Structure 1
């Protein structure tokens, strides 16, 4: 009998070595976090699971090394990241709520700030987390059958106002730190420009490692710098990531830190102004006088004016004059700055109207002026009187600005519909025209929200008590249904990523429910059954219907359909 060959050796997975040092513990967590980032655009749930594992790994690091700032910072940032991902409620434990998750993230950032008070990265993320909590309070919940009383509404809005104010204070501190960093960057740049050129081939002054790394001589560091970890930090618009590098055999390594630039200052200043705008947006005709006094509005406008006139507009103007940016990137930043300014002005005009400081004509004119062409700076005139290099920002070329202008006009129309229906009808028409233009300019991933806005606006127009609306009410609501179906069609675009898809899913669900409600109104018996079996969760259907009734575009009878 022939000899049987030996079976092939069994391949066993190599057991990873257990971490022993702080850097090794941190490396495990960073690897998990990076895995989550890789899945973020394709599978949000899988990305979230990796982030949860990374958070646990950072907590393990902190349990062993409680003073490890990198682990503490990254844990806080990931806790906030999880609150912003479009994850279903079933992803989290039953006891976890959006509010509790944000409060946990806020506490984590506070701990980071306590450990390193002058970290602009921590302060920026801390401020954004507080703003997210404020937005949660600001949005009325329709998840329960309980009707919110006037006192409960005021309490909720007061909570939101306080959280926004805390956010602004933190961002203000962040901007102060960044200004000092920016001055330091300029000083270092000027000092560097004064240094004589050196020969890169000369390795006497700067040692060269076999792997190509550059080793600084020991006298490049002040006495007592030690051999501790040098932390390399990178700052993004809303989040930053920290990782550590260890020192071996007394080798000193240079940490490359991204400098603070004018764009960094602009990002923070815009975030501060957005917080002010969001505070103003809390006002309603019934709550404005209880939330805001004249003195409060004067203080708010004073601080906002400083942010606008000393930071946002001058920095935005310098992006071109100092050749900081060019082309499409320059245009985007200039438009963003002017649009933030416009939205703040419209929010301020709305509150002033509710408080009785201005009438509806002034309110309308303020909105029109806010979105007019804006001159960032005027160029120099030549001998013939022609002005060169003038920078004008035209918000009518931005689909997002057109949507915001439409929202502003719709807000006025809704507020004055009973007392001046003719003006309300005209303004709603202007809003409709703006959204039509926005549809042409919006990218594929933005079209679902534009179509939803157009459908909602048609419902608003159909409720304005003027002859034109009453005569075409059926047509307007039919048009709304067409736009809602357009939402569903536009949502299938391949340009929409996984994270964006989470928001689009909410838009599609709202469109589906409202389109079916319109069909129910005209007696389509099948629509009610389709609404129940539409694939949208029953709780979501009830929430959308309650919100629509609260907005006044559907009657209370619709609640009977959804149960």
Structure 2
């Protein structure tokens, strides 16, 4: 999920008789009031919250019509749009599909950068919009459109990081000049600097200083964009992206961690190590699929997840499980229809993934983890029931149980899904129906009565399951025959 950088809003004035805004500050204040209303209703009534946020955006638009050079109005409008895109429950009440809303948000951020192309928060937020839009497009099989967006995001993040480094260096120099003979403040403890006069009745902007945490946020965003990008580009580009990630994780991030207070460094190192491991896994997968490395090398690369303390971190456990599942999926895809499939390697990685997800659920359950657990069981079922690979009798006998497990985990995903997980819930419902059909078709088990999935959605789900390697193509085609003909 994209992380927005906040630009501190002007302090609120005493409420009085409602009047039409005249100054840029008054437009900002009016928008603030609508944002505050939207925030109050966000959890309890997303529709009411969405209407308030739409009113805030309209106020920003009117303000910018009168004050087109107001950086504060432009920035806060773009910031609000970005925040809305990260709340699925709100998006449905804005009146635009998510992809279109992201494109609108990108235009707003480009406008902000035209007003100030050096503002680090604006650079960071624009990169997050680009990354979110690229992820949407890549999920819709529009990789050729997503790639340049991710490349632009990385360029903006590079500019952001350079700007942050320069500002931090200047801040440190200013502190040394101001504290001659004294002790310089820690870079995480400096007070915010302000401009303007509170007593004059004029609103003013509070400019928070750059901290080491800001630089690490930018490193994290850069590695996330790189992790997404490596799965989309041609093989010839991989080495360059690998070099970029290496510079971030081995040179720049350690230097930034060293600027943190001592009690914050351990957590920061863990986060960087996890970002590095996730990139290494994605990079190895891209190299394997490009026939640049073999499965044994790929497997060895996943040792990057040997991070001290990961057993107490659900995100780390889930990330490693996802990487090991991806390894097995890619190997299965390479050997599809062949008796040479390294069954033991794939089975072991999927079993390890399931163990990792089990540990993660003990730290806190989520719909996504249960959906992933269902996918792992579908993959293991594919191996156990494969007509091409020599499978032991014991493993083949476990196939009906694996299909049942998948069905059960998908039901858990639906049960745990919230309003924020609408897309995930729909996918889980599709897969409940498909897992049920697998059990009926292959094992003669009576169809489940609690399947809640339209036939058209089931058809979409079958396509997705084949693309993700969860089902053999031949089996999916047989299941599709049972769907009504349009």
TM-score by length of 2: 0.82
Q: Equivalent residue for 1:119?
A: 119
Instruction: Give deviations 1:486-506, integer Å, cap 9, x for gaps.
Output: 334444xxxxxxxxx334343
Secondary structure at the aligned position of 2:88 is classed as coil
Q: 1:355 aligns with which of 277, 282, 290?
A: 290
Taking a change above 3 Å as real, the CA distance of residues 503 and 485 of structure 1, as seen in their structure-2 partners, is: same
Structural mapping, 1:329-348, within 5 Å: 331-348=266-283
Distance 2:17 2:207 in 1: 35
Question: Which ranges in structure 1 are unaligned for 5 or more consecutive residues?
Answer: 1-13, 141-152, 198-230, 233-243, 283-290, 374-392, 492-500
> Structure 2: how far apart are the matches of 1:75 and 1:551?
38
Distance 1:514 1:356, change over 3 A: closer
Alignment RMSD:
3.0
Correspondence for 1:45 among 19, 44, 47:
47
Deviation digits for residues 133-153 of structure 1 (CA, Å, limit 9, x no counterpart): 11111113xxxxxxxxxxxx5
Q: For the Cα contact (< 8 Å) 2:288–2:294, is it kept in 1?
A: yes
| Structure 1 position 17, deviation (Å) | 1.9
Q: Is the aligned partner of 1:265 residue 2:191?
A: no
Kept after mapping to 1: 8 A contact 2:196/2:202: no
**Offset, 1:111:** 1.1
Unmatched 5+ stretches in structure 2 = 1-15, 184-192, 336-340
Give the 3 Å change call, closer, same or farther, for CA 427–187 of structure 1 in structure 2. same
Q: Which moved more, 1:450-459 or 1:14-23?
A: 14-23
Q: How does 1:48-127 map to 2 (within 5 A)?
A: 48-87=50-89, 91-93=93-95, 96-127=96-127
Pick closer, same or farther for the CA change 1:277–1:196 going to 2, 3 Å: closer
Cα distance in 2 for partners of 1:335, 1:356 equals 31
- Residue number in structure 2 paired with 1:477: 403
Q: Deviations over 1:63-85 (max 9, x none)?
A: 11222111111111222222222
Alignment CA distance shift 1:246-1:24 (3 Å): farther
Q: Give the corresponding residue for 2:374.
A: 455
Work out whether residues 235 and 287 of structure 2, in 8 Å CA contact, stay in contact via their aligned partners in 1.
no
Separation of aligned partners in 2, 1:183 and 1:435:
43
CA apart distance, 1:54: 0.5
In the alignment, which residue of structure 1 is the partner of 2:234? 292
Residue 557 of structure 1 and its aligned partner are, at CA, apart by 4.0
Q: What do residues 450-508 of structure 1 show as CA deviations (whole Å, max 9, x unaligned)?
A: 222111100110101333542211011111122223334444xxxxxxxxx33434333
Are residues 87 and 439 of structure 1, via their aligned partners in 2, closer, same or farther at CA, if it must alter by over 3 Å?
closer
CA gap of 1:27–1:562, structure 2 versus 1, over 3 A, is farther
Q: Give the SS at the match of 2:99.
A: helix
Q: Report what 1:553 is aligned to.
A: 470
CA distance in 2, matches of 1:196, 1:549: 66
Report the structure number with the largest CA radius of gyration.
1
- Aligned counterpart, 2:423: 506
Query: In structure 2, what is the equivalent of residue 440 of structure 1?
Result: 362
Quick one: distance in 1 between partners of 2:47 and 2:266?
35
Counting only pairs closer than 5 Å after superposition, residues 270-285 of structure 1 correspond to structure 2 as: 270-282=220-232
2:246 to 277, 296, 305: 305
Between the aligned partners of 1:542 and 1:33, the Cα distance in structure 2 is 41
Q: Please tell me whether the aligned partners of residues 316 and 337 of structure 1 are also in contact (alpha carbons under 8 angstroms).
A: no
Deviations 1:231-284 (A, max 9, x none): 96xxxxxxxxxxx977776x89885421111000000011111111111133xx
Structure with more helix by fraction: 2
The alignment status of 1:365 with 2:300, answered yes or no, reads yes
Report the Cα distance in structure 2 between the residues aligned to 1:89 and 1:561, rounded to whole angstroms: 32
- CA distance in 2 between counterparts of 1:486 and 1:414 reads 23
- Secondary structure of 1:160's match? helix
Task: Give aligned pairs, total.
Answer: 439
* Cα separation, 1, equivalents of 2:295 and 2:92: 46
Of 302-311 and 546-555, more deviation after overlay is shown by 546-555
Taking the aligned partners of 1:255 and 1:520, their CA distance within structure 2 comes to 60
1:552 to partner: Cα distance: 4.1
3-state SS of the aligned residue for 1:138?
Answer: helix
**Distance in 2 of aligned mates of 1:526 and 1:350:** 37
Match of 1:410 in 2: 325
Alpha carbons of structure 1 residues 541 and 334: separation in structure 2 relative to 1, 3 Å: farther
Contact persistence 1:44–1:85 (CA under 8 A): no
Distance 1:456 1:357 in 2: 27
1: distance between equivalents of 2:205 and 2:426?
Answer: 48
Hey, what's the Cα distance between the residues in 2 that align with 1:438 and 1:422? 24
Query: How many Å separate the matches in 2 of 1:73 and 1:543?
Result: 39
CA contact (8 A) 2:54 2:94 kept: no
| Distance in 2 between residues matched to 1:88 and 1:70, nearest whole Å | 24
CA distance in 2, matches of 1:17, 1:270: 44
